Amino acid sequence: DLTLQATRRDGGWQLDVPRLNLATDGQPWPAGHLSLLYLPQQGTTQDEELRLRATDLQLARITPLLPAFSFLSPALVEPLQRLQPQGYISRVGIDIPLQQPGRSRVLADWHGVSWQPWKRLPGIDRFSGSLSGSGQDARLRFKLQESTLPMPAMFRVPLSVQRASGTVSFTRDGQGWTLSGQDMDVQARALWSHGGFRYHQPTTGSALLSILAGIRLTDAREAWRYFPEPLMGTALTDYLSGALEGGAVENATLLYDGDPQQFPYLHHDGQFQVYVPLRQATFRFQPDWAPLTDLSIDLNFLNDGLWMFAPSAHLGAARGSNIYADIPRYGAERLLIRAGVAGSGKAVRDYFMRSPLKNSVGATLDELQVGGDVTGRLDLDIPLDGGDTRARGEVRLDNNSLFIKPIDSQMQGVSGAFRFDDGRLQSDRLSAHWLGQPLTLQFATAPQTERYQVAVDLNGDWLPSRLPWLPPGMDTRLQGNAPWQGKVTIDLPERGASRYQVNVEADLRAVASTLPAPLTKAAGAAQRLKVNADGDMAGFTLSGSLGHDSHFAANVALAPRGVVLDSLSWDSQSSAAPQTQPGQVTLRLPPLDGAGWLALLAAPLSPQLDSRSVLRLPTQIALSTPRLLLGGQAWHQLSLALTRQGETTHLRANGREIRGTARLGAGTLSAALDFLYYAPQPVTQGSAAEPIARPLTGQPPLFRRWPTMQLRCKSCWFMGQNLGKVAADMRVEGDTLQLTDGLLDSGNTRLTLSGRWQQQDGISRTQISGVLQGANLTDSADFFGLTLPLKQSAFKGDYDLRWQGEPWQPHIETLDGTLRVRLGKGVLESMDTGRAGQLLRLVSFDALLRKLRLDFRDTFGEGFYFDGIKGHIALHNGVMSTDNLLIDGLSADVAMDGTVNLVTQRIDMQAVIAPELSATVGVATAFAVNPVVGAAVFAASKVLAPLWNKISLIRYNISGGLDSPTIHEVLRQPKKEKAQ
């Protein structure tokens, strides 16, 4: 039931429906109120007008009724039918001057309103607000809450608005109409924008749209939702939608000022600009290129172009700088990127390995690996329609390293530049140092059908004496320079393994060599060295020649576990490359003068006796020569044979001067020599002496991988003397090298030795102990070529010493231990005799003897005979001290005490001289007068001078430097007369 009330009012009619008891399509209306007032024209005071008032209206119920009211305002009814509005109008009031409907007045409040998109008006839902004003001046205030705004004409997906609010004003006058927005605040998915706009449409002339807004974007991956495709174009929209993979924006600015009909303002008669400072971004400028990361980039959308700049970014592990990315015209659909590049050579290589240039630039940089930091530039021309990207650029080297992978060698100090244009590379002439010497190199690439080729040209003029692999001492035997040329060709097929060829040729005319044959050469003699290698990553064959007669050939395999020398052959009397036998090294050499080939082979072969070595040698190595000078001796008719059987290596040596074998296996090295004759000749003037080998200190523990060693020699001869049997055992226990059962037995001298060498926490500690003894000191000294002031005594010495440092390099300040000396009858002669005399000077015997010679020339002039010498010496931190070193002389006894500081080289000793010590004034009396630590007894003769016979005891003080000590007589005690 519907109640309609009609009343007359102000000459017109008012129709009221107190309660809308209606239903549309079976759906009831809300119980609202509706009032319609018609006022006729009344002179000049009242125009004909229709007034509508309503409350609690549901738009979905009104839409079907709109055609019935089309006669009132057709222009309003049609859009409403298209928009299909829904929602609730709390109240609405409309005053329509029927003669001037454009001056209608309206007042309305609504909530939960939605409508469909129509033309350029976006769809909307959950729209609340109010409208007040007239057709000349109106104001709209609105709010959106969790709304969806479809706008297919502008954006690809509906805008998901969390909150929005603002005020929109409309004014109309004789100059035109204006629509403006103030405090427009929109919070959408990852987006927050705040600003305003003004659109003015004059009665005549062009429209003007002005927009100013600030924008915040929390996740650049969502930016694609807000790209205005009609303004940016489909290609750019597609590109940026995929390129932006992360980042955030604070304080972006949207600025628009111009006639929308003239966009994109090719004649600069308007401006559309969006300035976007994107931070912590990831930008993938092409799907198949590694993205720019850690990026702070400014995007400047300006009219028909996009201009981007980033001061720096990560290109993988490399660093980009001054990065420009421009789209000058959207219509051209091309992105131009220019960037400086800096980073390690590995980072640059890895970057190209993750790009479409992987098989060209990336593959080249993998074969020619640059080390150290490099700089350069990268230029990319990227079609936005998905076409091929053109990549150009330059890489600058400054004191870098360059590892040439096919030849497994590295250059240093490489400087210069190379450029690339897609798959083609071309370098300048680069300068570098290779193996410690300067050279120039140049490389270029040549893309071919189904393959890619890299060519490297090398040129140098080197000093052979500076080659780093020369054993010590060989550099002094080489003089002159050798110009050479090399070419490395690397073939990289699309499928299959890469191959390479290496050709090197050197002119040795200016080189002079005093090395043994076949390397002996005079300066000016024509000689060329040629080396050729051909292979792949699995191995290569090597061939070459030195001069006209010496030729060599080898086969090398590159196995996962290391390098395997399958075969090698050298023939010094051949006109062609010798044949190689699988698994065998054959060296047929002429007579060699000096260390020669064995010295050259010993260094590389010695570490290869371990089966775990990276370099794997053939199982059989044979070397033969009619004469070899080594160690100052000629070894005649010498042949060496090395054979490996499983984990065991056998070495056999046969010649006139040596017969024996050695065996390495199961962590043990055993050497058994049946015969060894070694008689090195003195080096004559003008001959080349062999360098003295210095022990290698290495990094602790030096001996960690040493095997257990056993040395046995049945008959060892040295300098024509038969040493007899020599033996020693050594083994490694953790961080300690143990020596046991050390023995040298020459028949008249026997030395036993045991000890340990420990390396722990970077510190070496050494301990040795043993016994040295013999029946006659003179015979032992003569056997070893020594001259001692002590003669004829039987001797025995015990020693137990400890110090920090290597066995051959003790730190004197850490020397601790004990020495015990016992000598039988003998004589002490002149002190100024060789190194043995220097040992006695440690306690200043020589200085004391000179003093006694001055005071008692008759007694100490010729020599001092003694019945025995004994004593004990203690060492602590490099300081020797003694209190029981005595010499029992035939004419006098001598006792000494004090200290000798081996670190500061100073002495502080006291000596007591007691002639014919008797029961009354004996050794005990002398010790009571002045206790002694060190003693030395000198005797001259049994015939004493008269002055000497009157002396019972003399005491001397010895102090100062060891080289020139000062001796003072501090006591002379007369001999007491016996009571009558």
Query: How many C-alpha atoms does 205 have within 13 Å on its Cβ side?
Result: 10
- Mean pLDDT score across all residues of the chain: 82
Let me know if residue 862 belongs to a domain.
yes
Residue 107 belongs to a domain: yes
Given 103, 120, 145, the domain boundary residue is 145
Give residue for tokens 């010649």: 655
| Token pair of 11 as six digits | 């000459």
Q: What is the mean pLDDT of residues 883-888?
A: 85
Residue 951 lies in a domain: yes
Neighbouring CB atoms inside 10 A of 649's CB total 21
For residue 585, which of 533, 542, 536, 531 has the smallest C-alpha distance? 542
Q: Exposed, middle or buried by CB within 10 Å (0-12, 13-18, 19+), for 490?
A: buried
pLDDT in tens, 413-449: 999 998 988 878 899 999 999 888 999 999 898 777 7
How far apart CA 914 and CA 243 sit, in angstroms, is 105
Where is mean pLDDT largest: 326-340, 467-481, 691-705, 837-851?
326-340
Question: Which of 145, 170, 185 finishes a domain?
Answer: 145
Handedness of CA 422, 424, 427, 432 (dihedral sign): positive
Mean pLDDT on 638-647: 86
At 853 the pLDDT is 56
Q: Amino acid identity, residue 693?
A: A
Query: What are 454-482's pLDDT values in tens digits?
Result: 888 999 999 999 988 776 667 888 999 99
CA distances from residue 849 to 840, 964, 971 in whole angstroms, order as listed? 11, 13, 17
Cβ-contact 244, 283 below 8 angstroms? yes
pLDDT bracket for residue 309 (50, 70, 90): very high
Structure token pair of residue 466: 């500076």
Does residue 906 form part of some domain? yes
Q: Is residue 690 part of a domain?
A: no
In this prediction, residue 770 has a pLDDT band, given cuts at 50, 70 and 90, of very high
pLDDT at 974: 67
Query: In this model, does residue 610 exceed pLDDT 70?
Result: no
- Given a contact cutoff of 8 angstroms between Cβ atoms, the answer to whether 520 and 550 are in contact is no
Paired tokens of 429: 């002439």
Distance CA 826, CA 106 (A): 142
pLDDT of residue 917: 41
pLDDT at 904: 92
**pLDDT score, position 947:** 39
Specify whether the CB–CB gap between 306 and 326 falls below 8 A: yes
Are β-strands 390-404 and 409-421 bridged in parallel, bridged antiparallel, or unpaired? antiparallel
Distance CA 969, CA 956 (A): 4
**How high is the pLDDT of residue 428?**
93
Q: What per-residue confidence (pLDDT) applies to 697?
A: 43
At 922, is the pLDDT very low, low, confident or very high (cuts 50, 70, 90)? very low
Cα separation, 289 vs 335, whole angstroms: 14
DSSP letters along 742-792, please?
A: EEEE-SSEEEEEEEEEEEETTEEEEEEEEEEEES-HHHHHHHTT---SEES
Measured at the CA of 683, the angle between CA 682 and CA 687, to 5 degrees, comes to 155
Domain encompassing residue 21: 1-145
Residue 783's identity, in one-letter code, is F
Q: What's the whole-number mean pLDDT along residues 780-792?
A: 75
Q: How many CB atoms lie within 10 A of CB 1?
A: 4
Whether 264 is covered by a domain: the verdict is no
- For residue 104, the number of C-alpha atoms closer than 13 Å in the C-beta half-sphere is 16
Report how far residue 585's alpha carbon sits from residue 597's, in angstroms, rounded to the nearest whole number: 14
Residue 430, strand partner residues: 441
3-state helix, strand, coil in the chain (%, to 5): 15, 55, 30
- Number of structural domains the chain divides into: 2
HSE (side-chain half, CA atoms, 13 Å) at 287: 10
- What are the helix (H) ranges across 29-164? 59-62, 74-83
**Is residue 191 assigned to a domain?**
no
Predicted local confidence at residue 202, as pLDDT: 95
| pTM given for the model | 0.55
Domain boundary among 121, 145, 169: 145
User: Would you give the distance in Å from CA 708 to the centre of its chain?
Assistant: 36
| Contact present, 351 and 290 (Cβ < 8 Å) | yes
Tell me if 762 is assigned to some domain.
yes
